[in-house]
Amino acid sequence: MGNILRHTGINIGGLNSISWIFKEDVGGFSFNQTNLLCQVTPKLGKAWNAIYGTPETIQLESEQQDTPGGMKYVYKLKILVPKDRSQVETELYAMTGRHLILKSGDKNGTIRIFGTLECPMKVSGKLLKPLAIEGFNGFELLFTGEFTYPAAYYVPPTGPIPDDENQD
């Protein structure tokens, strides 16, 4: 291991894209635990499904927990999807109780994978209709998962996963 050096580029943060795929629709999943790089390839005819969230509402929370069984990494990703509409409710109904892999991108261009084939993410949702006319009307989706490794960094399926931990 080496030093954690000062970041010298821009760091505007904030998640701006979320997509998901059912665990059973994944054809290839390769995760290098040394450098936390991961490739996920959908099965033929399957693809990542996008989720639109109200701008600036996608929120990621992670926590490291030291347990008797070893370190555990807990992730919660919350997103607000606007407007009470059947399309959202139908998709949420299809996703609920199923095993999911998430792909999220931030405004710095970093893409992470949440979930593995052995430990996928799960989703729950609720409809929000506040009393105030100006208030948010739509769904709050909450994706949760617990893993033995931190969430991976995505590498497109077109290139190999580097196995040298010193590579950038």
109: which residues sit within 8 A by CB, 6+ positions away?
none
Q: Give the integer Cα–Cα distance in Å for 82 and 121.
A: 22
Output DSSP code: residue 132.
S
Which whole number is the average pLDDT over 99-128?
93
Banded model confidence at residue 163, pLDDT cuts 50, 70, 90: low
Which whole number is the average pLDDT over 103-117?
91
Q: 26, 43 in Cβ contact below 8 A?
A: yes
**The pLDDT value given to residue 9:** 63
Banded model confidence at residue 4, pLDDT cuts 50, 70, 90: low
Looking from the CA of 166 toward its CB, the CA atoms found within 13 Å total 2
Q: Which of 109-113, 127-131, 143-147, 153-157 has the lowest mean pLDDT?
A: 127-131
Q: Give the integer Cα–Cα distance in Å for 108 and 111.
A: 9
Task: State yes or no: pLDDT of 66 exceeds 90.
Answer: yes
pTM for this structure?
A: 0.85
**The pLDDT value given to residue 130:** 79
Which whole number is the average pLDDT over 10-39?
88
Q: Give the integer Cα–Cα distance in Å for 115 and 144.
A: 9
Q: Give the integer Cα–Cα distance in Å for 61 and 74.
A: 8
Output DSSP code: residue 90.
H
Q: 155, 112 in Cβ contact below 8 A?
A: no
**The pLDDT value given to residue 160:** 59
